[in-house]
């Protein structure tokens, strides 16, 4: 780290705000000017504790972004306690246990208000969240040593020694349960839940949090999950910012120093794969709503699928490209059946859902569904036209700069490389991979992954 003369916090934050826009512009210009041939220098090494570290040095502004991912997402929640990983992640901001040795800048116990004030004083933040596959910690701080050292110390304490105060959890559990009950009065929530159940069956991807599952989660369950989840040997650590490799290695060691230490790193029990659908399902649910909410789809593909790029390009043409997609042209432009319609894949460690979604007038739901099915079937059968293919590739390649035009977006991409164990030159070769995709590649990949005759269709609020 460079030796800067300490500045008042307000001056530091003001300076940072002024340079954030400049940083974004510099990153965007870099991406446009270097193109597909440039090498984005992603550095990677494995620490003695087993943590895999990925670094992109970015010295344009004095800022550091860190993301730590571990395999402790909601796919590992017990079915009867669905929501446990997310609940634990959220409750880690409600208190910190005291430092046993009484050392460091934050030795005492801290409640949620004290934690919040400490982060505000540093002009830094620690976000903790759980997705379907992973538990993630995200640290953002200025890179000035006097601030970064304290931010790392506070993050290390909060990650390793959460207090999980019971009174706070009982308060939040009532609030969460009430929010879930209220959400079920909305057709958008109902259609999403029924669609996930139909697509994933008993797989954890299809589990949903309910007031009943929350009632079975106590402080003890959170403590147990926390104790068994945090292992440095399972951590993928992504760093983007104004640090060298040596500085980053030391920073990561400090962040993980208080995590439990085991003599070995035992493998976690496997999670079963998503079962393919065997027959079409049509679920029509009465609901008093001005619009019919429609979701149609099936299990898609895993992120490790070798056809990732043909499927990415194919979905862009089908329904992921906004107003230029085939679904929009047929459902919205030619027939006026919906203001918007889309398709999307959500690949993860397991096959995430392929989804076609739209909203329409209840009396038009049957026609909208029929047209959407016809478009999907035709695309899977015939693939894209050459004009559609070239337009999609140009759009994707032209928009690549926007994927990495800030520290946060760049960190997301580095974390994608780390979590999915992608090649270090993945970003450098991204546009080249898109340009290599042919119409035959798209048709073959979409036909292999999608089975229109076996898809689930859920309509909430329509009349079929």
Domains 14-256 and 281-460 belong to one CATH topology: yes
> What b/e string do you get for 2-27 counting C-beta neighbours within 10 Å, with b at 16 or more?
eeeeeeebeebeeebeeeeeebbeeb
**Among candidates 462, 408, 396, which has minimal Cα distance to 434?**
396
> Could you tell me whether strands 135-142 and 63-70 are parallel, antiparallel, or unpaired per DSSP bridges?
antiparallel
CATH number listed for the domain at residues 14-256: 3.30.830.10
Q: Is residue 252 packed enough to be buried (19+ CB in 10 Å), middle (13-18) or exposed (0-12)?
A: buried
| Residue 262 confidence (pLDDT) | 74
Residues of the chain falling short of pLDDT 50: 1-38
**Among candidates 301, 417, 348, which has minimal Cα distance to 134?**
348
Domain ranges of the chain: 14-256, 281-460
Cα 139 → chain centroid = 16
Beta bridge partner(s), residue 353: 299
Q: Does domain 281-460 have CATH number 3.20.20.10?
A: no
Which pair of structure tokens corresponds to residue 137?
């910690």
| Residue 102 confidence (pLDDT) | 64
Angle at the Cα of 389 from the Cα atoms of 383 and 391, rounded to 5 degrees: 145
Cα 317 → chain centroid = 23
Main-chain phi, psi angles of 427, to 5 degrees: -70, -40
């Amino acid at each position: 780290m460079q030796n800067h003369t300490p500045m008042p916090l307000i001056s530091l934050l003001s300076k940072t705000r002024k340079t954030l826009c400049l940083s974004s512009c510099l990153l965007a210009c870099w991406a446009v000017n270097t193109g597909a041939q440039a090498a984005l220098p992603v550095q990677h090494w494995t620490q003695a504790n087993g943590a895999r570290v990925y670094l992109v040095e970015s010295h344009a502004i004095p800022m550091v972004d860190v993301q730590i991912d571990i395999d402790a997402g909601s796919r590992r929640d017990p079915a009867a306690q669905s929501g446990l990983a997310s609940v634990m992640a959220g409750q880690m901001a409600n208190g910190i246990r005291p430092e046993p040795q009484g050392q460091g800048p934050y030795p005492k116990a801290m409640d949620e208000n004290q934690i919040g004030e400490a982060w505000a004083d540093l002009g830094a933040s620690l976000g903790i969240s759980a997705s379907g596959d992973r538990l993630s910690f995200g640290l953002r701080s200025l890179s000035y040593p006097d601030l970064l050292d304290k931010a790392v110390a506070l993050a290390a304490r909060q990650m390793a020694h959460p207090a999980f105060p019971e009174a706070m959890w009982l308060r939040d559990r009532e609030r969460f349960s009430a929010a879930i009950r209220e959400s079920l009065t909305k057709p958008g929530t109902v259609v999403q839940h029924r669609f996930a159940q139909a697509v994933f069956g008993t797989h954890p991807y299809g589990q949903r949090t309910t007031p009943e599952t929350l009632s079975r989660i106590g402080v003890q369950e959170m403590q147990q999950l926390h104790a068994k989840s945090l292992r440095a040997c399972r951590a993928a650590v992504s760093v983007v910012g104004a640090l060298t490799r040596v500085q980053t290695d030391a920073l990561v060691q400090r962040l993980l120093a208080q995590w439990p230490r085991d003599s070995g790193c035992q493998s976690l029990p496997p999670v079963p794969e998503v079962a393919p659908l065997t027959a079409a399902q049509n679920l029509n649910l009465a609901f008093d709503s001005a619009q019919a909410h429609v979701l149609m789809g099936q299990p898609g593909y895993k992120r490790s699928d070798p056809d990732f790029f043909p499927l990415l390009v194919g979905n862009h043409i089908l329904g992921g490209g906004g107003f230029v997609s085939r679904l929009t042209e047929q459902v919205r432009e030619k027939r006026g059946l919906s203001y918007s319609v889309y398709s999307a894949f959500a690949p993860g460690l397991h096959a995430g859902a392929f989804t076609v979604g739209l909203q329409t007038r209840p009396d038009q739901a049957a026609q909208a569904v029929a047209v959407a099915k016809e478009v999907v079937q035709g695309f899977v059968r015939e693939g894209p036209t050459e004009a559609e293919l070239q337009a999609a590739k140009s759009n994707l390649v032209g928009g690549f700069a926007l994927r990495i035009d800030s520290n946060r977006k760049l960190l997301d991409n580095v974390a994608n490389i780390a979590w999915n164990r992608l090649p270090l030159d993945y970003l450098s070769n991204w546009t080249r991979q898109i340009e290599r995709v042919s119409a035959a590649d798209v048709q073959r990949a979409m036909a292999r992954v999608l089975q229109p005759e076996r898809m689930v269709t859920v309509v909430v609020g329509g009349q079929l």
